[in-house]
Amino acid sequence: MNPNISAEYIDKIKIAFGIDSEPVIRYNHSEHYKCHIDR
């Protein structure tokens, strides 16, 4: 998951995708999520 998404959105994501259980969240700090300004 994008590390820029704060934990407050997890419940909203669970509702939107119909997830009932507690998901395993793995934050991906790859270059994919970096802004061109950060590079």
The model's confidence at residue 2, banded by pLDDT at 50, 70 and 90, is confident
Number of domains in the chain: 1
Place of tokens 């300004």: 37
Mean pLDDT of all residues belonging to the chain: 81
Tokens representing 8 are 């407050």
Q: Does pLDDT of 15 surpass 90?
A: yes
The model's confidence at residue 6, banded by pLDDT at 50, 70 and 90, is confident
Give the range of the structural domain holding residue 23, as residue numbers without chain letter. Answer: 1-39
Tell whether pTM > 0.75.
no
In this prediction, residues 1-9 reach a mean pLDDT of: 80
pLDDT of residue 33: 67
The secondary structure element, H or E, covering residue 17 is helix 10-17
